[in-house]
Each structure stands twice: as C-alpha cells, then as structure tokens.
Structure 1
C-alpha cells in the first residue's frame, strides 16, 4: 500500500508538478488513511470500504480537525483512488459520494487602507534588514503574492523598467503581475545591499546570502506588524488586503482573479463579501434611516 502512495505522489510531483507544500500535506493525509487500514487489518486498497472511510472522517471531525483539513484528506484519498483505478490496481472507489463536514466560513483578515499606509510609510532605516523587509512588504501588497511565490522569486523574474514580475504559482502556472511604483522604489533601494552578499539568484536573501525561507519571512512580518501597528501581521493578510482594495476600487472580479492567480473565480468571490461588509458599515454610519431597530429605552420614551 505504501508503494501505491509513493507512486501517486510521484505522479503529483512529476506530471501534475504540485508544490512541495501540497506533496507534504497529501503524504501526511494518505499516511492517516494507511494507518486506518492497518488498524482494520486491511492490506489492500481494494478492500477499503466507504463505511471505513466515513468512520475515519467522523472521528477526525470529532477530534476537532477542521472541515477544510478533512476535505483535503478526502481529496487526497479521491486522487489516490483515481490513480489506482487508472492503472488497474483497483476497481472500486470508496470515496464516491463522500463529502467533508461543512466548516465555518471565515472571511480572510485584511488591513484597511489607513493601516496599510501606516505600515508601509513609516521611516525605513538604511540597513540590510530594514530595506529588505520593507521591500518584501511593499511587494506583497503591490502584487498580491503568495508567500511561496515571494520566496521563490529570482532577480531575473523582475523587470523594474516595465514594472512587471513573472510569478510561478500553484500548479506551476505562470502569470505576469504589475509592480507598483512604491514597491519598485523599495526594491531599487534593497538591491545594492543584496548584491555583495547574495550567493544565488534569489531576490530576497538572508544576511548569509542564502535564499530567504518562508518561516523567516513570517517572523519578520510578525515583528513589523507589532512594531508599526501593534498587531500581528502575516503574509496572506497583505495578499488579502491587496485583493480587497483592488476589488473595492475596480469592481473587476475577473481582473483580480488573474492578478491573484486563482484557477477558479469562486475563490476570488470571497472578496466580494469583504467589500459588502465595508459598504454595510458605510451605510450604517451615513444613512439617516440605517438603524436596525429601536432600543427598549427608545421605545419607552416614545
């Protein structure tokens, strides 16, 4: 059974060109599935039944695993069985008809325009770390990058003259995104400090000259958020803020989808809910008849 998992992961790695993050997540999920089979004395994928899989999903849900994580496990199992059926290692798929539990739909956290300005327009010291971190935050907010996309960016992906960046996103899909004036200025100030220490083509490097890792970026942004705004900041908050502010100003859902690199427009539509929240607050504050309902004290006075 482990050989079948390895074969499927190789398929994802070489043919689907999935990211290391996705591969690691699927490997963990399929290990849970294999462990279930072991406890049930199941030695072939052919012998796993829908009832067994449903029991596993229910137990994980009861243990507090989120609906999103359970959905990913089910997606991994479904992909594995499609692979097995395609290669005639199995003739049944126990994932058919199974659905993950509905999880709470949480809207992504964003910064409003004033907070984003406060974060990015503060004074920047002319040293290696400050210039690098400022360029990172400007690029996140300017171009709506994912964390994995930013850390994998190389200097030759960037065209400062045209203000464009070539980005390799999920599924190795390549898109070209604009880089705003403020981000270009921050990168221009960073590059002379990068040049003497860089050991490879990475746009953002550590003080040792090696490519900056995702965890390091997360920690630096967290510190910057506490320092400049008194709150935690993470990379996706800047991506979400970019998307929300772009959609609020342009109302161009398809355009924002392209900039974010979303394969499905339904993923981008989450930002229409954020925009509605903003409009609802404006309405409540400005409209003379916006009050939802009179309070008990108001009613008594009337």
Structure 2
C-alpha cells in the first residue's frame, strides 16, 4: 500500500501537519483514479508522457496553472518516496511544468458604487474614523500597510498632501482630495476620545492603540455590507479602483505608476487592461457600426464568415 506508507512518511518522518498530508493524498488519489481510467495499474509503469497527459486532463477539467503545479508537486514528492523505497526507477513528473496561469485582473468598484459607499453620514466616532480611512485610501491609492502605518505628522491637510512609506521603505508624497481631507478633519475631532498619551498613529482602535491591518479589513467588509455593496469590499479593491479610475480619466500611465509607488511600470500596466475593457463596453454600446440588430444579418458579417473559412 504505497499511498498509506507515503502518508505515514509525511506525518512521522517529515512532520507535516494533518492538513498538509490530507492535501497530498487527495491529489494522489485523483491521480490514481485517472491512471485506472487509462488502464495503468502500476506506479512504476507511469511515464513522463502519462504525466503530461494527466496535466492536459486537469487543464481540460478547468484547473488553473497554480492548482496543476500543486498536483505535480504532490506527484513528484510521492515518486521521491517510491524511489527511496525501491518501488520505482525514475520520477516521471520531475521535468514536467504546469501551464502558466493568465494574470488575474484586480477587481474594482465602479464610480457610482464607491459614491454610494462613501456618501454616508457616520453614526458614531468609530464610523467617522472608518469613513476617513476609506476616503483617504480611495483618494490617494494607499496600500493597506501604508494606511495602517500613517502617523499624525504625515498629513498636511491644508496643503492637501499625505506622506507615506511604501515598499522598500520608499517615501512618496500623494495628493489628498477635498472629500478625504474633510473626512479626516472630522475624525481628528473624535480621535482624542480614544487616545491617551503620545500615540502617533493617525487611526487608532477603541483602546487607543494603532489600528491593525486585520481590523481595517474587517471594518471595510462590515461597511460594505451595511451600505449594500454588491461585492465584498476589501482595501486592495479601493486601491485598484483608484488606479483604474485615474487611468480611465487621464490615460497617463506614468503618473499612475508614480502615485501607486510601483517600481516597474509593467506592474501598473495591468490597469490598462481594465481600462480597455471599459472602453470596449462603451464602444459596443455607442458606436453605430458596433451594435447588431437582433434577427438581422449584414453583408459585413456574411463576408467575415466566408473569409474565415
């Protein structure tokens, strides 16, 4: 029973957690079921060609590159064990690589949804704080860590600027919009209710200490639910929305790169895909030659069909 022996090896010798062992065995049971379906009944009989066929099958079933890579890792580890035990002569998964996953586009909220989310009169000081955080994050495109790390001296509300420390301890100065500045001013009037002593943090908890990143995430998710958002709200969505809306309005990729604090413009270019999707929808809805009338065929469409044959 190689699989049972492998499970013992993982738990006793490798000291893997029960959950990790479960993942390995689940992947291997799936591989075993596929081998049975293609009439392979010996582990030692599996070739690299068989593993490539299995990868193709996983891809056909809809698994992404990361999931397939995990399956291949499980198979490689299993065959390392079989080789050690003298139950196989080679590792058929050794040089097999998973297909690359397409880059997932970040989720964004549209302008109307963000207006509904932020055009709110807070009921208590904690909600005043929350609104100030979310306005500032969307206004300036802040990372979650940058927002949580803000100190009182970082904001120049009169000048409409905020100074943040980004990745690699790189400092950048960002504009702060009028709505965000007003929300922060309201919060500063409430902040003294919670802070005792010389706490430098801009955003603090009920106990007066710096608000953690996890708490900010939880508060934004709660805020979205209360305001009836049609998707789960999280801090990175506000940053993504900032970037997408800025690029959509200005078309200035370099400026958006500077605002986001990206070292490589290729990182910022993902937002050009989001912008193109928006432009494509506008085109389809607006251009007279882009819209098709239901039930009507056109010479252009007939011509394109024949040309593609």
Q: Which residue of 1 aligns with 2:35?
A: none
- CA shift for structure 1 position 195: 2.0
Report the count of equivalent residues.
218
- CA shift for structure 1 position 252: 0.9
- CA shift for structure 1 position 265: 0.3
For 1:217 and 1:134, locate their aligned partners in 2 and report how far apart those are by CA, in whole Å: 11
Larger Cα-atom Rg:
2
Structure 2 matches for 1:44-55, cutoff 5 A?
A: none
Q: Which residue of 2 aligns with 1:181?
A: 178
Q: Which residue of 2 aligns with 1:171?
A: 168
Provide TM-score, normalisation by structure 1.
0.64
Query: 4+ residue runs of structure 1 moved beyond 3 angstroms?
Result: 64-68, 98-101
Q: Which residue of 1 aligns with 2:241?
A: 241
Where structure 2 has 5 or more consecutive residues not aligned to the other structure, the ranges are 1-19, 21-54, 70-95, 303-309
Structure 2 matches for 1:87-98, cutoff 5 A?
A: none
Matched, 1:209 2:231: no
Structure 2 matches for 1:23-172, cutoff 5 A?
A: 67=66, 101-125=99-123, 127-172=124-169
- CA shift for structure 1 position 101: 4.9
Structure 2 matches for 1:210-289, cutoff 5 A?
A: 210-231=209-230, 232-289=232-289
Provide TM-score, normalisation by structure 2.
0.63
Where structure 1 has 5 or more consecutive residues not aligned to the other structure, the ranges are 1-31, 33-57, 71-97
- CA shift for structure 1 position 298: 3.9
For 1:289 and 1:213, locate their aligned partners in 2 and report how far apart those are by CA, in whole Å: 52
For 1:103 and 1:65, locate their aligned partners in 2 and report how far apart those are by CA, in whole Å: 6
Determine if contact 2:117/2:229 at 8 Å carries over to the other structure: no
* 1:54-77 deviation digits (Å, cap 9, x = unpaired): xxxx9xx99x89649x8xxxxxxx
For 1:165 and 1:108, locate their aligned partners in 2 and report how far apart those are by CA, in whole Å: 25
For 1:155 and 1:164, locate their aligned partners in 2 and report how far apart those are by CA, in whole Å: 12
For 1:278 and 1:65, locate their aligned partners in 2 and report how far apart those are by CA, in whole Å: 26
Instruction: Provide the alpha-carbon RMSD of the alignment.
Output: 3.2
